Amino acid sequence: MAWISSAEAIRQLGVRPQTLYAYVSRGRLEARPDPEDPRRSLYSAEDIERLASRRSGPKRAAEIARASIAWGEPVLTSKLTVIAEGRLCYRGVDAIDLSQTATLEAAAAHFWAADYAPRPGMPPVTDGPLKARLFTALATRAGTDPHARGRSRAMLATDAATVLETLVDAATGGTGDGPIHKRLGAAWALDPDGADLVRRALILMLDHELNASTFSARVAASTGASLSACALAGLSTLSGPLHGAAVNGVLAFLSEARLLGAGVAVSARLDEGRALPGFGHPLYPGGDPRATELLAHFEVPEKLADILSAVANESGEYPNVDFAIGAMAQRFALPTDAAFSVFAIGRSIGWLGHAMEQIETGSLIRPRARYAGEMLDSAAWP
């Protein structure tokens, strides 16, 4: 056990000497004579830390909560995904390894720890742009599907597989047989190599721990909402330009670089203090392994390779998965919003897995807000 002087104890606690002595007399703080000077006392550092944390509880809790919101400390416990030392693992299996040969259906079964067994679904949504069809399909289900509370794990897994199939049918514009990646490949006129790259991308996009869209899905699940409603919450959050729709920013940057030249486009953005879409990631300072894996499986067009080189020379940043998906979309001439759809369909497996895990906890996610406004006298209200 570590021991500290009275002066240090008083400093850490922010109290007067009398209060320190009162803690000892009440048994809340252990003290002992200083071996080097019996006239003085030493105090338990562990007890001091405990008392200090209690004294600053609300303030400290608020600081921790605030720091946890943006790439901060973990805020809940999960057995699904971990990102550590530059690796992404789903239920203990490296995502890169899983993407080598697994179908999306097999990856979903692993992530959900359940058989992939969807029930016959509703007629597919065929009208409207690709992205709109995804929203319409989930919203239609969310308006009629039963809530999730009280449903068995097996039934929830069937619900999850059915929701995923609903998204795939919306993306392809019809129902079909065979692996999901081949159905998407056929709908998007891809050759076998292109379809297999979609398979890899879907699996690598499957989950990314507690990102914004996954947290949205878990909040919805904590209320007992249906799995389709949870997926819709995730999709809505994914659509923001700082999340799944970031790939649109990448595509705009790629077009900019083609027009101006890679070196000029990169230098101009850096000189203006603007971001380089598709590069860098807070969780992967040594490079996003998902991007590295995807880019290794197709020949990057020359102009895109020039961008990679220019960014490396000018900023030292590595490409992230948004760049890889954008490059894939250009290399295989994917339809408008297909890149977003790959992101959404893959990530929906994560939303559904997290939703099931949250439902099983039986707890409601309901944080508190720290009010920063002013209080008005009610008498002054007109």
Q: Binning pLDDT at 50, 70 and 90, where does residue 57 land?
A: low
Q: Return d(Cα 85, Cα 101) in angstroms, integer.
A: 24
What mean pLDDT value characterizes the chain? 88
Query: What pLDDT is attached to residue 122?
Result: 82
| Residue 184's CATH number | 1.10.580.10
- Predicted confidence at residue 162, as pLDDT, reads 97
Give yes or no for residue 88 having a pLDDT over 90.
yes
Mean pLDDT of 12-33: 78
Tell me which of 145, 169, 288, 322 is the catalytic residue.
322
Q: Based on the domain organization, do 183 and 136 belong to the same domain?
A: yes
Q: Is residue 21 part of a domain?
A: yes
Instruction: Give Cα separations from 339 to 147, 168, 172, 344 (angstroms).
Output: 31, 14, 13, 9
Share of the chain above pLDDT 70, in %: 91
Mean pLDDT calculated for residue range 17-25: 73
Rounded to whole angstroms, the Cα distance separating 37 from 29 reads 20
pLDDT digits (tens, 9 = 90+) for 337-360: 999 999 999 999 999 999 999 999
> Which structure tokens are listed for 332?
């295989």
Residue 246 pLDDT = 82
| CATH number (domain holding residue 16) | 1.10.1660
* Separation in Å, CA 226 to CA 76, 239, 269: 21, 20, 44
Assess if residue 377 is contained within a domain.
no
Q: Which of 64, 91, 110 is the last residue of a domain?
A: 64
Q: Which residue has the higher pLDDT, 370 or 59?
A: 370
> Among the options 281, 306, 337, 354, which is catalytic?
281
Q: Would you put residue 274 in left (φ > 0), alpha (ψ -120 to 50) or beta?
A: beta
The answer to whether residues 152 and 57 belong to one domain is no
Classify the phi-psi angles of 70: left when phi > 0, otherwise alpha if psi is within -120 to 50, otherwise beta.
beta
57 with 96, same domain: the answer is: no
In a domain, 174, yes or no: yes
Q: What residue numbers bound the domain in which 21 lies?
A: 3-64
Residue 361 has pLDDT above 80, yes or no: yes
371 within domain boundaries: no
- pLDDT, residue 369, reads 83
Q: Has 110 been annotated as catalytic? A: no
Would you say residue 375 lies in a domain? no
Q: Who wins on pLDDT, 43 or 26?
A: 43
Residues 85 and 53 in one domain: no
Let me know whether 164 and 47 are in one domain: no
Choose the final residue of a domain: 36, 64, 92.
Answer: 64
Q: Are residues 149 and 218 in the same domain?
A: yes
Count the domains in the chain. 2
Can 322 be counted among the known catalytic residues?
A: yes
The pTM of the full predicted model, rounded to 2 decimals, is 0.80
Question: Do 228 and 317 reside in the same domain of the chain?
Answer: yes
Does 158 share its domain with 204? yes
In a shared domain, residues 57 and 104? no
Q: How far apart are CA 28 and CA 22, in angstroms?
A: 9
User: Is the domain of 152 the same as that of 271?
Assistant: yes
Distance between CA atoms of 191 and 185, rounded to whole angstroms?
7
pLDDT above 60 for 105: yes
Helix then strand then coil, in percent of the chain rounded to 5, is: 55, 5, 35
Q: Is the pLDDT of residue 331 over 80?
A: yes
Note whether 147 and 359 are within 8 A (CB): no
Q: Cα–Cα–Cα angle for 282, 283, 285, nearest 5°?
A: 70
Residues 50 and 86 in one domain: no
- Tens of pLDDT, residue by residue over 280-324, are 888 888 899 999 999 999 999 888 899 999 999 888 889 999 999
On whether both 256 and 226 belong to a single domain, the answer is yes
pLDDT at residue 245, as a whole number: 78
Strand (E) positions, the chain? 3-5, 31-34, 37-44, 81-84, 87-90, 93-94
